[in-house]
Chains A and B, each alone.
Chain A
């Protein structure tokens, strides 16, 4: 079955970096665009970034542009999110999701806590 599994979350100090991964299985990863969506504790959903199926196009929310980089490895079926210059407000559960214009399915999420 289609499955997305995120990892790489943890506690990090403000200004530091972290890289998230999302391993995909059960579908032809290289045929789909992919997204990262985050959810701060007790808050709603916040789209972060997207990448086209072949990695040729990237899209970012204004709040992360210039600090976060989305990438993918279509040979290993892995999606990445490189997060630099992290801020307190980046604290959230980060989900990866497959693109069909809408998001389906979603991974279970990985928690990133930015705190000194």
Chain B
């Protein structure tokens, strides 16, 4: 399953809303996770089941979608949110990631 993220880069000002998209090449139900990766760090889980926030994740992060179209929304960007975001499907083997969206200032 090919995962396609858009845009590749998103330029946003602090306090603004960011909307990241992820599309699957075939239906994956709600079997989608989102990760955040900051420079020099390992990725960390944000969202699973397309819309369930990981423990401790601020409510400004939300996930939506099912089937082939998914969205990660950050309602009001904070300085610590500037990072690269990846989606990943776990509906079928092999597990596959999208190419990532870099959220920059």
Q: Mark A76-108, 1 if CB is under 8 A from B, else 0.
A: 000000000000000000010000111111111
Q: Determine the distance from Cα of A4 to Cα of B88 in the docked complex, in whole angstroms.
A: 20
- B 24-64 contacts with A by CB, 8 A: 31, 33, 35, 37, 42-45, 48, 54
Given contacts A45-B97, A59-B93, contact A103 B88 (CB under 8 A): yes
- B 88-102 contacts with A by CB, 8 A: 88, 90, 93-100
B82 CB–A CB distance under 8 Å? no
CB-CB under 8 A from A41, the residues of chain B are none
Given contacts A47-B96, A50-B95, contact A103 B43 (CB under 8 A): yes
B70 CB–A CB distance under 8 Å? no
Given contacts A44-B99, A44-B100, A109-B42, contact A103 B33 (CB under 8 A): yes
Which applies to chain A's interface (DSSP): helix, strand, loop or mixed? strand
- CB contacts between A and B, total, < 8 Å: 55
Q: Is the CB of A102 within 8 A of B45?
A: yes
Interface bracket on A: 20 to 34
Q: Determine the distance from Cα of A40 to Cα of B48 in the docked complex, in whole angstroms.
A: 25
A11 CB–B CB distance under 8 Å? no
Q: Is the CB of B42 within 8 A of A107?
A: yes
CB-CB under 8 A from A95, the residues of chain B are 42-43
Most buried by B among A47, A61, A62, A102: A102
Given contacts A45-B86, A107-B42, contact A101 B97 (CB under 8 A): no
A72 CB–B CB distance under 8 Å? no
Given contacts A50-B95, A59-B93, contact A102 B33 (CB under 8 A): yes
Q: Interface of A with B (CB < 8 Å)?
A: 35, 44-47, 50, 59-62, 95, 100-109
